[in-house]
Amino acid sequence: MVNTLFKLLALLFFAFMLTSCEKKMVGERQEMHWDRDMCDRCKMVISERKHAVQVINQKTGRTYKFDDIGCAILWFKEESIDWKNQAKIWITDIKTSKWIDARTAYYDTMNITPMSYGFGGHEKKESIQKGFEIVDFNEMSKRILEGGR
C-alpha cells in the first residue's frame, strides 16, 4: 500500500514538473493556439490567422486574445477597461500574417473578417489596394464603436 502510494505521488510530481516547464513570457505576445484559443469577447475559436489580435495589460502582463479587431475594441468599452490607453495591441498583417502594432497599422475597410467588422490591418500603406479607403487606428476604433464601417 505504501509502495503504491509512493509511486502515485512520484508520478504526480513528475507530471506536474513536465507541465510547469512551459515557458510563458509575461507582458509579451503569446503563442496562438489556432483552432483552440477562444476570443475573450465573443468566445469564438480563433482560426483566422489574418485577423487575430492580442491585447496586453502592461501593468499585469496578462494577454487577451481576439478573433477580430472589432471584438477587441468593443471589449475595451463593454468591460470598462481603464488601462486601454496603455494597452499594447497587436494585430496580424492581413497580407503577411506578421504581428504588427495595431496602433500604428493602416486599415482598409473591404474585408470579410470573422465577426464582420471588415477592417484588415496592414503594416504599410502601400500594401493596400489602390482605390481602397485607408483609415488609422483611431478612425477604425471610432467606426466600430459607432456601429459602422
pLDDT in tens, 67-107: 999 999 999 999 999 999 999 999 999 999 999 999 999 99
User: Does residue 16 belong to any structural domain of this protein?
Assistant: no
| Host domain of residue 31 | 27-146
User: Does residue 3 belong to any structural domain of this protein?
Assistant: no
CA of 57: how far to CAs of 24, 32, 85, in Å? 15, 17, 10
User: Does residue 108 belong to any structural domain of this protein?
Assistant: yes
For the whole model, what pTM was predicted?
0.79
> How much is the pLDDT for 22?
45
> How much is the pLDDT for 23?
46
User: Does residue 13 belong to any structural domain of this protein?
Assistant: no
Which regions in the chain score pLDDT beneath 70?
1-3, 5-27, 148-149
Our count of domains for the chain comes to: 1
User: Does residue 105 belong to any structural domain of this protein?
Assistant: yes
Using the 8-state DSSP alphabet, how is residue 142 labeled?
H
> How much is the pLDDT for 28?
76
> How much is the pLDDT for 76?
97
> How much is the pLDDT for 21?
47
Q: What angle do CA 73, 77, 79 make, to 5 degrees?
A: 110
> How much is the pLDDT for 2?
61
User: Does residue 104 belong to any structural domain of this protein?
Assistant: yes
Query: In whole angstroms, what is the distance from residue 30 CA to residue 143 CA?
Result: 28
